[in-house]
């Protein structure tokens, strides 16, 4: 089985859920004589020592084009909705954020490219049942084979301290776009002096965001290692993950594995992933504050932490890769 991987996501996204997924897949398969890697040479050399450049076509155009090289192979799997003619295509669908929340040309181009990838795929991998449900909502007449394969969680996330060890810092991980509901957390923390805020990732804070943060004592970790993020999870009062929509919600599982209580929204995949291991509800400043107050109760903290650690055992990247490899074989 000869698999051709298109790593173009590494040229499009420095950090994020999709690039994390692709890093885990490709780094585990790297070195196999059945796998060949293209693109993604700009910022991921620490993961892939050898990745062949596909074309000299500018990235802004190449990202929307079919794979340019003509190669013999059994399977083509692109990291971001591209197809290769004359070969069996596999596509991983992470979410439908563009379809639900974007407008204008960006939405049109993304949706058109995704539609072509889905329509030309022999196999569609969805990262959650929630994403699979959305897939059939947008493509109700789809006849392609669909497989749900959950993301994993990194080995570097682990519980270090007991449940009584925590500070007063609330943790927020990821992007801060509108649907991420970051403003609701900011509004909540501006009502209290009990908590500080650690922000991880999401790019530089804008002047508007800094103004909204107001009196909150915050620290922004724009780039951070998994080891340092694990330390933040271990000492945080809680992870607040208020996003209205996610295809998976990787920080939830990372927090569970590290023994960090989670507060999240009761919609999309977050309910599926959080299960009964988090405080889940309709996100508002009042709900966030009430949930934080609940977590001052050590008995409640311990119960949620214990449930989260147990739940996290259901997710591993090795399991994800094993299921992905079996899914490849199922279409040959």
Q: pTM value?
A: 0.93
pLDDT tier, 30 (very low <50, low <70, confident <90, very high otherwise):
low
Between 29 and 170, residue with greater pLDDT? 170
For residue 31, the model assigns a pLDDT of: 63
pLDDT tier, 50 (very low <50, low <70, confident <90, very high otherwise):
low
Phi, psi dihedrals of residue 325, rounded to the nearest 5°: -60, -40
For residue 38, the model assigns a pLDDT of: 79
For residue 10, the model assigns a pLDDT of: 81
Tokens found for residue 159: 């519980």
Contact yes or no for 36/71 (Cβ under 8 A): yes
Does domain 3-152+316-330 fall under CATH 3.30.360.10? My reply is no
For residue 229, the model assigns a pLDDT of: 97
Strand partners, 38: 6, 52
| Of 22-26, 220-224, 225-229, 248-252, minimum mean pLDDT range | 22-26
Give the Cα separation of 225 and 231 in Å (integer). Answer: 10
For residue 122, the model assigns a pLDDT of: 97
- DSSP output for 192-240: -SS-EEEEE-SSSPPHHHHHHHTT--EEEESS--HHHHHHHHHH-SEEE
Angle at 297 between CA 293 and CA 303, to 5 degrees: 115
| Of 62-66, 236-240, 327-331, minimum mean pLDDT range | 62-66
176-235 pLDDT per residue, tens: 999 999 999 999 999 999 999 999 999 999 999 999 999 999 999 998 999 999 999 999
For residue 234, the model assigns a pLDDT of: 97
For residue 76, the model assigns a pLDDT of: 95
Tell me the pLDDT of the chain averaged across its residues.
92
For residue 3, the model assigns a pLDDT of: 92
pLDDT tier, 25 (very low <50, low <70, confident <90, very high otherwise):
confident
- Identical fold for domains 3-152+316-330 and 169-312, yes or no, is yes
Give pairs for 228-231: CB < 8 Å, separation 24+.
229/157, 229/173, 229/200, 229/254, 230/156, 230/157, 230/158, 230/160, 230/254, 230/258, 231/160
| Annotated domain spans of the chain | 3-152+316-330, 169-312
- Exposure of 228 in the CB half-sphere (CA atoms within 13 A): 11
What integer is the mean pLDDT of 253-270? Answer: 97
What integer is the mean pLDDT of 125-131? Answer: 98
What ranges in the chain are assigned the alpha helix state H?
A: 9-12, 17-29, 59-62, 97-101, 104-119, 129-138, 182-189, 207-213, 226-235, 250-258, 268-274, 285-294, 298-312, 317-330
- DSSP output for 136-148: HHH-TT--SEEEE
Question: Domain 169-312 sits in which CATH superfamily?
Answer: Glycogen Phosphorylase B; (3.40.50.2000)
With pLDDT > 90 as the criterion, what percentage of the chain qualifies?
78
Give the Cα separation of 309 and 307 in Å (integer). Answer: 6
- Residue whose structure tokens are 């499009």: 12
- Exposure of 130 in the CB half-sphere (CA atoms within 13 A): 21
């Amino acid at each position: 089985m000869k698999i051709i991987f298109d790593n173009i996501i590494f040229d499009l996204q420095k950090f994020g859920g999709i690039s994390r997924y692709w890093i885990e897949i490709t780094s585990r398969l790297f070195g196999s004589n059945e796998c060949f890697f293209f693109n993604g040479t700009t910022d991921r050399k620490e993961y892939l020592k050898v990745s062949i450049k596909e074309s000299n076509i500018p990235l802004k155009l190449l990202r929307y084009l079919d794979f340019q090289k003509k190669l013999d192979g059994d399977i083509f799997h692109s990291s971001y909705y591209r197809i290769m003619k004359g070969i069996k295509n596999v596509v991983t669908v992470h979410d439908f954020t563009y379809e639900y929340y974007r407008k204008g040309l960006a939405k049109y181009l993304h949706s058109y490219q995704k539609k072509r990838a889905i329509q030309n795929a022999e196999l569609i991998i969805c990262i959650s049942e929630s994403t699979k449900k959305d897939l059939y909502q947008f493509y109700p007449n789809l006849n392609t084979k669909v497989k749900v394969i959950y993301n994993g969680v990194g080995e570097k996330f682990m519980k270090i301290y007991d449940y009584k060890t925590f500070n007063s810092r609330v943790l927020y991980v990821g992007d801060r776009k509108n649907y991420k509901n970051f403003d609701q957390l900011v509004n909540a923390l501006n009502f209290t002096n009990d908590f500080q805020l650690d922000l991880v990732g999401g790019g530089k804070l804008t002047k508007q965001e800094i103004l909204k943060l107001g009196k909150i004592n915050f620290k922004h970790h724009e780039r951070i290692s998994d080891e340092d993020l694990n330390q933040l999870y271990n000492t945080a009062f809680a992870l607040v993950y208020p996003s209205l929509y996610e295809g998976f919600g990787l920080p939830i599982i990372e927090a569970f594995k590290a023994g960090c209580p989670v507060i999240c929204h009761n919609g999309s995949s977050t309910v599926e992933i959080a299960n009964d291991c988090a405080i889940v509800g309709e996100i508002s400043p009042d709900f966030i504050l009430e949930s934080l107050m609940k977590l001052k109760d050590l008995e409640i903290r311990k119960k949620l932490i214990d449930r989260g650690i147990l739940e996290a055992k259901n997710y591993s990247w090795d399991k994800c890769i094993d299921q992905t490899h079996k899914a490849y074989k199922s279409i040959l």
